[in-house]
């Protein structure tokens, strides 16, 4: 099996373009079998979070796969804590590492800017992340669900620029997300996408569907092999400069995601057609309160 396509982060570490997420359908559920299946099928990037309440089973799935730690990229995220609560980032990360059965994670993210941004604590929170990176508990550090103003707040005092900002990204939020993605590019912050399959999985019959169908047919002719609408969306994300975090309970879908590497690129006109169709409907599924929706 060919090694997965990777992207180099601003700190020199390398991240596979495709990550298997343990949130959404696996939220507060046993992820062991699906994590093992994902790894055995060829995914080496696993995306967890403290708030998913399943880091122990993510760790069990990693162990059950038998895959060497050096060949895996593991992400977890700092849980948002209630307003007024003192946050000890190092202690919380060490709890995660114990559950995961690991000495370090490859990437540690602040899961949400809220409520720290309302309390004026984002810069302190980021400083604590810089400290766990210095100690080697996290190889890379970043953020998630950060808006332009949240990123700017962190950048004002950051000694380490965030390596990643993981956000909901698909055509129905592209118009709103583009300034966040652009600011990331300016500072070398990689955008990681989640919810990328929303037009297919959550908004069937939406304005993007005809564009996906037309592009899919063209790609199938070019490739001489089947291409799914989901693969078109993944290519769109990759060509926007984002990596893809996704999840599924089916091996066939895991194989389909991996197979996206072999799908030809979209043309500029095709990307534009998806952008324009997506701009006709704004549909955010996750973290709506953070974005004031």
Question: Does residue 93 fall inside a structural domain?
Answer: yes
pLDDT tens figures, 21-48: 998 766 677 889 999 999 999 999 999 9
Mean pLDDT of 112-132: 96
Question: Is 1's pLDDT higher than 60?
Answer: no
pLDDT tens figures, 271-285: 999 999 999 999 999
Pairwise CA distance, residues 172 & 196, whole Å: 10
Tell me the binding residues: 111
What confidence score (pLDDT) does residue 4 get? 59
Burial of 91-127, coded b for 16+ CB within 10 Å and e otherwise, reads: ebbeebbebbebebbbbbbbbbbbebbeeebbeebbe
Question: Does residue 260 fall inside a structural domain?
Answer: no
Pairwise CA distance, residues 99 & 58, whole Å: 9
Question: Does residue 99 fall inside a structural domain?
Answer: yes
Pairwise CA distance, residues 229 & 216, whole Å: 6
Q: Are strands 73-78 and 105-110 parallel, antiparallel or unpaired?
A: parallel
Return the residue matching tokens 């534009």: 272
What confidence score (pLDDT) does residue 23 get? 84
Beta strands in the chain (DSSP E): 6-8, 14-16, 18-21, 45-47, 73-78, 105-110, 138-144, 164-168, 190-194, 242-246
What confidence score (pLDDT) does residue 55 get? 96
Q: Which domain holds residue 73?
A: 8-197+241-249
Backbone angles phi, psi at 238, to 5 degrees: -60, -40
Question: Does residue 36 fall inside a structural domain?
Answer: yes
Mean pLDDT of 86-111: 97
Pairwise CA distance, residues 244 & 195, whole Å: 9
Pairwise CA distance, residues 220 & 154, whole Å: 44
- Total domain count, the chain: 1
H-helix segments, 119-208: 122-134, 148-157, 174-187, 198-201
What confidence score (pLDDT) does residue 43 get? 96
What confidence score (pLDDT) does residue 39 get? 97
- The CATH number linked to 154 is 3.20.20.100
Question: Does residue 208 fall inside a structural domain?
Answer: no
What confidence score (pLDDT) does residue 29 get? 72
Mean pLDDT of 78-82: 92
90 CB neighbour count, 10 Å cutoff: 13
Mean pLDDT (the chain, rounded): 95
What confidence score (pLDDT) does residue 243 get? 97
What confidence score (pLDDT) does residue 82 get? 86
Question: Does residue 226 fall inside a structural domain?
Answer: no
pLDDT tens figures, 249-264: 899 999 999 999 999 9
Mean pLDDT of 16-25: 90
Active-site residues, by number, are: 52
Question: Does residue 235 fall inside a structural domain?
Answer: no
Mean pLDDT of 83-93: 93
What confidence score (pLDDT) does residue 26 get? 66
Q: Could you give the maximum distance between any two Cα atoms of the chain, in Å? A: 58
178 CB neighbour count, 10 Å cutoff: 13
Mean pLDDT of 212-230: 98
What confidence score (pLDDT) does residue 31 get? 87
Tell me the binding residues for substrate: 111
pLDDT tens figures, 132-144: 999 999 999 999 9
Question: Does residue 214 fall inside a structural domain?
Answer: no
């Amino acid at each position: 099996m060919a090694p997965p396509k990777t992207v180099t982060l601003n700190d020199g570490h390398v991240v596979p373009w495709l990550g298997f997420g343990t949130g959404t359908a696996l939220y507060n559920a046993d992820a062991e079998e699906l994590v093992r299946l994902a790894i055995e099928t060829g995914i080496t990037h696993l995306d967890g979070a403290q708030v998913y309440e399943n880091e122990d089973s993510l760790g069990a799935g990693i162990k059950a796969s038998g895959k060497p730690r050096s060949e895996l990229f593991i992400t977890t995220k700092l849980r948002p804590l209630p307003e007024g609560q003192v946050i000890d980032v190092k202690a919380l990360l060490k709890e995660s590492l114990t559950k995961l059965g690991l000495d370090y994670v490859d990437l540690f993210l602040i899961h949400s800017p809220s409520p720290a941004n309302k309390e004026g604590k984002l810069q302190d929170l980021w400083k604590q992340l810089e400290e766990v990176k210095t100690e080697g508990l996290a190889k890379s550090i970043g953020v998630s669900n950060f808006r332009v103003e949240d990123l700017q707040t962190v950048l004002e005092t950051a000694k380490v620029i965030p390596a990643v900002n993981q956000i909901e990204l698909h055509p129905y939020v592209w118009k709103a997300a583009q300034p966040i993605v652009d600011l990331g590019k300016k500072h070398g912050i990689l955008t990681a996408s989640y919810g990328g399959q929303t037009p297919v999985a959550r908004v069937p019959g939406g304005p993007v569907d005809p564009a996906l169908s037309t592009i899919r047919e063209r790609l199938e002719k070019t490739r001489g092999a089947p291409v799914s609408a989901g693969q078109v969306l993944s290519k769109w994300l990759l060509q926007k400069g984002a990596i893809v975090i996704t999840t599924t309970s089916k091996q066939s879908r895991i194989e389909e995601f991996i197979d996206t590497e072999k799908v030809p690129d979209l043309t500029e006109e095709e990307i534009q057609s998806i952008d324009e169709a997506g701009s006709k409907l704004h549909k955010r599924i996750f973290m709506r309160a953070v974005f004031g929706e």
